[in-house]
Amino acid sequence: MIMDYSIFLMNNNLNTMNNLDKQYQTLLQDILDNGVEKNERTGTGTISVFGRQIRHKMSEGFPLLTTKKMAFKTMVTELLWFLRGDTNIKFLVDNNCHIWDGDAYKRYHNTWDMDTYGVSEPLSIEQFVEKIKTNDEFAEAWGELGPIYGKHWRNWKTFFTQKQGVDQIQNLINDLKTNPDSRRLMVNAWNVGELDQMTLPPCHYGFQVYTRLTTREEKIVNPGKYRAISLMWNQRSVDTFLGLPFNIASYGTLLMLLAEECNMIPGELIGNLGDTHLYKNHIDQANEQCGRQSYDLPTIELSNVDTINGEFDYEIKGYK
């Protein structure tokens, strides 16, 4: 089955003015104008505001920013990795996605000593990544990031569930199909009992979905689909220049996957943002992006969707 969202847009005859880039640029300007200086773990320094929100109607287009070029394939690879329940960077490295290389390398470098490794100096990050790709034993030992997103999405364990963890994604889909009006349609990655075992505690730590009956107009465009589904994610720490555009597109993709899996139409995408910051070495780029003109948002076509196994095909249309 193929879900072509471009047909939904054309038939709805909606104004597809790009409000997403406008919101994002407004957020960048807000931080530039009102941000306060804060120290942070990398030592780079940030300017930061607290408590912001992004809202996007999926009927206005796929939420991929147009005021800078987005590496969509990299984002998709990371989302598939989460859905697979994987926590080792080998899958990412094998698929040319390097978002988490630095986190794994930091663990390796911080624990390195000459007596253990028998060489005078640690591998460079480039050598480290190549060895992850070519040496399974090394990847198993040093590619692991601990119980981060994928682990908790697909195999949450507590004292009472050590033998068989809770598959939150499977449970979510089951509940959407059997009890779509539930107020418990949630997935959480903030396991306080395992935070100290994670290379990096989750930034986007949970999401909730909400469904409603479709309107008469929506039913005409989408025959056989009687519900619309919206998704709201919560994020404690927001790297607004580099990370947030990925987060928006990733959760937009996840929303569409859930809609396809449950025979619904995508509704609204909402991001609740906590410490919303710009790193000081991104300020010039943020100023430049604030002055750029946006284009119409693209559309996306999904096919062969298997959310449970972390598999789907896609085609982005009209991305400029």
Q: How many other C-beta atoms are found inside a 10 Å radius of the C-beta of residue 225?
A: 18
Catalytic residue among 97, 203, 262, 290: 203
SS3 (DSSP) at 268 = strand
C-alpha distances (whole Å) from 311 to each of 2, 151, 303 are 14, 17, 10
* Those residues with Cβ within 8 angstroms of residue 292's Cβ, 6 or more apart along the chain or in another chain: 25, 67, 68
SS3 (DSSP) at 149 = helix
Q: In what order do the strands lie in the sheet with 186-188?
A: 36-38, 46-57, 265-279, 227-239, 204-213, 186-188
Establish whether 203 is a catalytic residue: yes
Return the residue matching tokens 């009687």.
Answer: 226
User: How far apart, in whole angstroms, are the C-alpha atoms of residue 233 and residue 212?
Assistant: 18
Backbone angles phi, psi at 199, to 5 degrees: -60, -40
For 266: left if phi > 0, alpha if psi spans -120 to 50, otherwise beta; the answer is beta
Q: What is the set of active-site residues?
A: 203
